[in-house]
């Protein structure tokens, strides 16, 4: 639906002026801005293989600890709107917050979609006088949908090549296994960069490789009177947060010292005018990194799905660094305009543009490609399974209604007293009374290690699991945070103090009948997505399908 039709539709439906006033003066060009600088970097991240427009609810709870408490990216709701100066009830408020999500979604529609993103990118390029552009992808691109899983990322490679991605780094891409990753990169027309991924000593010895580098650490792109260095920073905890067995010969890490050496090399030997870190660390890690590593002009961040409209400036011993994060699921496109002259970055302008699908005509060529890659799977994807009885979403610090659906399925189908589910932040939202299809199920479960398991655990073992998960989320040192949300728990409740020390955050563990868990008593527990073992149970998608059909 094009912009004019959408506005007419709103009027016919009788939506209030409060909700529709933000559309009343839209110019012919949806995102106008005067020219600035002489190079523009476009940044997308964490789309999680969502080729189609989607609904995605931003969190109502995003708890920060230590120095991060009460600061971006840990602001939600009204605090977020006040900090960034966004008007309540506006389309931007819908894009960036959870407020009245179901009602606002009915007015403002779905967001993202590669065909609409392609239109926006072309529009920005066509309105520019300088014509110097780079499209950067922060990773988590090849995973998150049924078609990406079934094609091993090939559908996303085709879409990204058509979109014109110039440089990318990765995280969930690695869960296809090292051989598939390297094969996919051969099909990718851009550059895959990651300075913090190297061969293990054993792998280097066995292969006889002269260098430990698995990927290019950086790439330098040249324009008229401008040299831009893009350093890759892949997700540093991949072998911990995901199965190490999938990439046994590669080692990861933040690699702060190596990064500083790379920046110094670029500055002093390669004469780059601007140094950009394309990061998948997560924003809290990036903020600390920016205070310790000098010489980086801008960090374009991802992983934690934080949509931050204005950059955060971080001072360090040699100046300051601009830190950003560009949201997720194709909802946003970041636009970084650089003013470079006399071999240095003189100024910059940053905008984070929501991708409103109803206001952007889909690009015909990209729409055709999407239809082509989805066609063989459409019948299965569109299979109806149930109807949402409420808003189903995933992201929040402790719980999400779609996560609860997964937990209920695990407990009932696997006949378990307690269920555990990872605190993934990817997965689209469904509105009340919206049909739940097989594609929706896969949007929350499409991983390469989806199997469920049922085992007996003691109360002490369950507490240890929760304490470990809480420390990954609430450790006061950002370098020890792995991103994501708290592990989801069904069949029991617990109290969590985010500000307590390790081993003391979890208390009051009770079954749903109110009785406390016994430290030495065993309980049947179902879970899925184990990183430490190959579980023998059914994939989570099949468990959820069985449960939905029963309902």
Q: Which residues contact 261 (CB under 8 A, 6 or more apart)?
A: none
Nearest to 58, CA basis, from 408, 241, 301, 309: 309
488 and 433 in one domain? yes
Quick one: pLDDT at residue 30? 63
Four-point Cα dihedral 66, 67, 71, 76, nearest 10 = -10
CB 192 within 8 A of CB 230: no
Quick one: pLDDT at residue 2? 42
Among 316, 348, 372, the domain-final residue is 372
Angstrom distance (rounded) from CA 278 to CA 280: 7
* Residue 327: burial class (beta carbons within 10 Å; 0-12, 13-18, 19+): buried
* 5: in domain: no
Handedness of CA 291, 293, 294, 299 (dihedral sign): negative
* Low pLDDT (below 70) residues in the chain: 1-30, 534-535
187 and 169 in one domain? yes
Q: What is the CATH number of the domain that holds 538?
A: 3.90.780.10
**What is the share, in percent, of the chain residues with pLDDT greater than 90?**
90
Provide the number of structural domains found in the chain: 2
452 and 341 in one domain? no
* 31: in domain: no
Among 337, 372, 407, the domain-final residue is 372
299 and 401 in one domain? no
Task: Kindly state the tokens that stand for 261.
Answer: 């050496």
Quick one: pLDDT at residue 210? 85
* 377: in domain: no
456 and 344 in one domain? no
Quick one: pLDDT at residue 31? 76
171 and 153 in one domain? yes
* Number of separate helices (H) and strands (E) present in the chain: 19, 22
Cα distances (Å, whole numbers) of residue 541 to 20, 55, 74, 436, 452: 39, 20, 31, 13, 10
Among 352, 372, 392, the domain-final residue is 372
* 341: in domain: yes
Tell me the pairing of strands 39-44 and 133-137: parallel
485 and 346 in one domain? no
Angstrom distance (rounded) from CA 293 to CA 289: 6
Judge if pTM exceeds 0.85: yes
Quick one: pLDDT at residue 143? 98
Q: What is the CATH number of the domain that holds 175?
A: 3.60.21.10
341 and 435 in one domain? no
300 and 445 in one domain? no
Quick one: pLDDT at residue 18? 33
348 and 258 in one domain? yes
Quick one: pLDDT at residue 20? 30
Nearest to 22, CA basis, from 82, 76, 95, 84: 95
Helix (H), strand (E), coil (C) string for 143-184: CCCHHHHHCCCHHHHHHHHHHCCCEECCCHHHHHCHHHHHHH
Angstrom distance (rounded) from CA 419 to CA 417: 7
CA–centroid distance for 287 within its chain? 17
Task: Kindly state the tokens that stand for 216.
Answer: 């290019």
CB 99 within 8 A of CB 18: no
* 252: in domain: yes
- DSSP for 51-84 reads -S-B--PPPS-----GGGTTSTTS--HHHHHHHH
Quick one: pLDDT at residue 332? 98
216 and 142 in one domain? yes
Angstrom distance (rounded) from CA 63 to CA 280: 20
* 29: in domain: no
Q: Which residues contact 205 (CB under 8 A, 6 or more apart)?
A: none
Residue 136 falls in which region: left (phi positive, over 0), alpha (psi -120 to 50) or beta: beta
Nearest to 122, CA basis, from 158, 92, 164: 164
Quick one: pLDDT at residue 534? 66
* 242: in domain: yes
210 and 289 in one domain? yes
Domain enclosing residue 435, as ranges: 382-550
Cα distances (Å, whole numbers) of residue 448 to 143, 507, 531: 9, 33, 11
Nearest to 448, CA basis, from 307, 290, 192, 247: 247
């Amino acid at each position: 639906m094009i912009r004019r039709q959408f506005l007419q539709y709103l009027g016919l439906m009788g939506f209030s002026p409060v909700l529709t006033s933000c559309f009343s003066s839209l110019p012919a060009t949806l995102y106008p801005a005067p020219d600035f600088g002489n190079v523009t970097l476009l940044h997308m991240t964490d789309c999680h293989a969502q080729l189609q427009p989607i609904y995605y609810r931003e969190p109502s709870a995003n708890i920060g600890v230590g120095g991060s408490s009460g600061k971006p990216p840990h602001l939600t709701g009204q605090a977020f709107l006040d900090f960034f100066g966004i008007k309540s009830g506006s389309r931007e408020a819908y894009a960036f917050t959870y407020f009245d999500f179901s009602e606002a979604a009915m007015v403002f529609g779905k967001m993202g979609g590669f065909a609409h993103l392609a239109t926006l990118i072309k529009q920005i390029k066509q309105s520019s006088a300088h014509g110097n552009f780079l499209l950067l992808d922060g990773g988590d691109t090849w995973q998150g949908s049924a078609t990406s899983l079934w094609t091993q990322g090939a559908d996303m490679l085709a879409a990204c090549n058509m979109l014109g991605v110039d440089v990318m780094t990765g995280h969930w891409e690695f869960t296809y296994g090292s051989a598939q990753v390297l094969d996919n990169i051969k099909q990718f027309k851009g550059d895959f960069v990651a300075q913090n991924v190297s061969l293990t000593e054993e792998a280097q010895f066995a292969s006889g490789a002269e260098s430990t580098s698995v990927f290019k650490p950086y790439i330098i792109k040249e324009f008229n009177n401008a040299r831009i260095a893009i350093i890759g920073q892949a997700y540093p905890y991949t072998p911990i947060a995901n199965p190490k067995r999938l990439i046994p010969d590669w080692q990861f890490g933040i690699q702060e010292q190596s990064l500083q050496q790379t920046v110094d090399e670029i500055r002093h030997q390669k004469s780059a005018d601007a140094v950009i870190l394309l990061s998948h660390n997560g924003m809290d890690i990036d903020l600390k990194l920016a205070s310790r590593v000098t010489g980086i002009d801008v960090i374009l961040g991802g992983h934690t799905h934080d949509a931050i409209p204005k950059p955060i400036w971080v001072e360090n011993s040699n100046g300051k660094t601009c830190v950003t994060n560009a949201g997720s699921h194709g909802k946003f496109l970041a636009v970084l305009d650089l003013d470079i002259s006399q071999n240095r970055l003189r100024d910059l302008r940053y905008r984070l543009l929501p991708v409103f699908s109803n206001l952007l005509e889909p690009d015909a060529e990209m729409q055709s490609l999407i239809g082509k890659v989805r066609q063989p799977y459409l019948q299965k994807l569109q299979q109806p399974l149930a109807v949402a009885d409420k808003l189903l979403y995933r992201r929040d610090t402790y719980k999400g209604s779609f996560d609860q659906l997964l937990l209920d399925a695990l407990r009932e189908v696997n006949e378990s007293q307690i269920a555990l589910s990872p605190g993934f932040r990817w997965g689209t939202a469904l509105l009340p009374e919206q049909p739940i299809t097989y594609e929706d199920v896969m949007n929350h479960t499409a991983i390469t290690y989806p199997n469920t398991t049922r085992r007996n655990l003691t109360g002490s073992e369950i507490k240890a699991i929760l304490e470990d998960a809480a420390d990954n989320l609430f450790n006061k040192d950002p370098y020890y945070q792995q991103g994501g949300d708290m592990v989801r728990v069904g069949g029991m409740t617990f109290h969590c103090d985010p500000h307590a020390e390790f081993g003391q955050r979890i208390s009051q563990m009770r079954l749903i009948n109110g009785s406390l868990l016994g430290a030495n008593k065993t309980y049947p527990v179902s879970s899925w997505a184990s990183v430490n073992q190959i579980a023998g149970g059914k994939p989570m998608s099949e468990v959820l399908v069985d449960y939905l059909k029963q309902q």
